[in-house]
Amino acid sequence: MMTYLRRALKYFIQITVILAALFAVLMGTGMVSKDVAVAFQHGWTSVWWILACLAAMSLAYPFFGYQKRKILVNGDPAEFKAGIVEALKIRGYVLESDRDGVLSFHLSNPVNRAARMWEDRVTLTPILGGLEAEGLSRDLVRVARAIEYHFRNNGND
């Protein structure tokens, strides 16, 4: 639950900063009035409604933005550790930890990590029939493909 709320808060802060920067540029260039009562139809009431909508979006995002996904790998996942590390290294991930066969990776590029607000961790847990990956939905597709592609091309079907 705390992870969920932390992710929601980070997303709220990120989207609010981006939107504030956009309005600052528009107001600074004179495209929009610097007076909030003129810039927004209902003045500060509109600003509070926008923030409320951003908060609602931020609360929904972790539910849809993070998921678990099964990756099919034949054999014992402990034997595939080197291949998994190699496959994810090509995709820009580095091994963060290996605890009891559970592999945890994060992006190696600090700019990409910051863009994801340091919520870039992908965890691979061995399960019957392969691995269970957990992390950002958009990253899991790339991670699953990289691992499956690596083992398919190395004849480990």
Q: How far apart are CA 86 and CA 81, in angstroms?
A: 9
Question: Which CATH number is associated with domain 66-153?
Answer: 3.30.310.80
pTM: 0.68
Closest CA relative to residue 72, chosen from 152, 129, 137, 151? 129
Which structure tokens are listed for 31? Answer: 């495209």
Kindly give the pairing relationship between strand 93-99 and strand 122-127: unpaired
Give the model's pLDDT for residue 157.
44
Widest CA span in the chain: 66
Q: What is the pLDDT of residues 109-149, one digit of tens each?
A: 888 888 887 888 888 888 887 889 988 888 888 888 888 88
Tokens coding 77: 């996942």
> Rounded CA gap, 71 and 140, in Å?
10
> Given pLDDT bands bounded at 50, 70 and 90, which one contains residue 84?
confident
Map residue 130 onto helix, strand or coil: strand
**Domain assignments of the chain as residue spans, ordered by start:** 2-64, 66-153
